[in-house]
């Protein structure tokens, strides 16, 4: 048996190993994205319930309103910096609405969120929105937390 034929099985084993590593890497990254989405289903509602307790929606306004922010949190659940609105307010009510959302984000800290998902919740974009609903005042405030999660 020649040296070349003796190395053939090792060469094939090495090729199979490389292909396996490439497949595992591709599958691992896809499942990581899926795991991240599943994690947001855990910490997103936790964040939302904490903010809802502090949110004092401004009076007035007879239209649907929305305020989206860029938020940065520290490991201990504190705001690392003041939330930044993604777009400027176009009316007095929108301005008051944004200000009330920022006050609620500030008042509710520190946020009690699972530290194992910190890399996911340290930067995200909560959205405060309200649409006509069945509440007594005709509106239902619904902070939507998972855009940007």
> CATH number of the domain that 125 lies in?
3.30.1150.10
CB 39 within 8 A of CB 120: yes
pTM for this structure? Answer: 0.66
Mean pLDDT across 10-26: 52
Number of domains in the chain: 1
7: in domain: no
Tell me the two tokens of residue 129: 């929105």
CA atoms in the 13 A half-sphere facing the CB of 119 = 6
Task: Write out pLDDT tens, residues 76-125.
Answer: 999 999 999 999 998 888 899 999 999 999 999 999 999 999 998 999 88
Q: Nearest-CA neighbor of 121 among 107, 104, 109, 103?
A: 109
Rounded CA-CA distance 39/75 in Å is: 16
| In-domain check, residue 21 | no
pLDDT of residue 128: 86
What confidence score (pLDDT) does residue 138 get? 47
Residue matched to tokens 């997103």 = 44
What range defines the domain where residue 47 resides? 39-144
Residue 6's SS3 state is helix
């Amino acid at each position: 048996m020649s040296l070349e034929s003796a190395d053939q099985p090792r060469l094939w084993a090495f090729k199979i190993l490389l292909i396996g590593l490439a497949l595992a890497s591709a599958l691992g990254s896809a499942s990581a994205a899926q795991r991240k989405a599943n994690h947001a289903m855990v910490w997103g509602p936790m964040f939302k319930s904490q903010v809802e307790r502090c949110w004092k929606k401004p009076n007035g306004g007879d239209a649907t309103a929305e305020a989206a922010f860029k938020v940065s949190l520290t490991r201990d659940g504190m705001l690392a910096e003041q939330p930044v609105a993604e777009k400027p307010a176009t009316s007095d009510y929108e301005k008051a609405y944004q200000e009330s959302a920022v006050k609620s984000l500030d008042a509710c800290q520190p946020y009690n969120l699972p530290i194992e998902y910190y890399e996911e919740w340290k930067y995200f974009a909560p959205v405060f929105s309200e649409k006509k609903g069945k509440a007594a005042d005709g509106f239902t405030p619904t902070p939507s937390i998972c855009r940007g999660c």
